[in-house]
Amino acid sequence: MSAAAPVVSARRETSRLIRRRSDLWIAISALAAALLSLPLAQSSWHGPEVSSVLAIAAVAMFAGQRWAIAVIVIAELLLVPTVWPRAFLGGADTFTRIAALGSLIAIVPGVLAMRRGAAALVLVTGWQRTGRACRRAHLILVMLGAIASLLPML
């Protein structure tokens, strides 16, 4: 056994703890986004389903299931058309606007983890995990987010 083995082991343990802390933060924010957006979802075409999927994926993330980050990212991207019009466009009362803004803020950590979600999506779909496949999945997620953001304007 080399002298570097304990150092490598300590680095791996530190990396694992940081990744777990990041996973917990993403799960907490996803659960908050789902809970805040559920009252807004009654008048939208897909809000209740997406909010419930987001909540279930957050619970799976709490349980240590790393694949759930892909579901969280997709669900948060699909939740954007339900939430942002109520936060910024007129016609919403104060409670609705506060809930929508809180939900948008809670969506941010999941959207920032889109690259990790793309890598998990590659694994979940059965593609061979290469850099090229991860970049393609990331591009698909970015395009999905752009389309979902522009959809309420149409």
d(CA 7, CA 13): 10
Of 2-16, 98-112, 127-141, the least confident: 2-16
Q: Residue 129: which pLDDT band, with cuts at 50, 70 and 90?
A: confident
Q: What are phi and psi of 66, to 5 degrees?
A: -70, -25
CB-CB contact of 152 with 81 (8 Å): yes
pLDDT of 59 over the 90 cut: yes
Total-model pTM? 0.83
d(CA 35, CA 29): 10
109, 116, 154, 111: which is closest to 134 by C-alpha? Answer: 116
Q: For residue range 69-104, what is the model confidence (pLDDT) as tens digits?
A: 999 999 998 888 888 888 887 666 888 888 889 999
d(CA 114, CA 56): 18
Query: What size, in residues, is the chain?
Result: 154
Q: Residue 42: which pLDDT band, with cuts at 50, 70 and 90?
A: low
More confident residue, 154 or 41: 154
Q: Residue 136: which pLDDT band, with cuts at 50, 70 and 90?
A: very high
Which amino acid does the sequence have at 112?
A: L
Mean pLDDT across the chain, nearest whole number?
85
Q: Residue 1: which pLDDT band, with cuts at 50, 70 and 90?
A: low
Q: Residue 57: which pLDDT band, with cuts at 50, 70 and 90?
A: very high
C-alpha distances out from residue 32 to 14, 58, 59, 66, 110, Å: 27, 9, 11, 19, 11
Rg (CA), the chain: 18
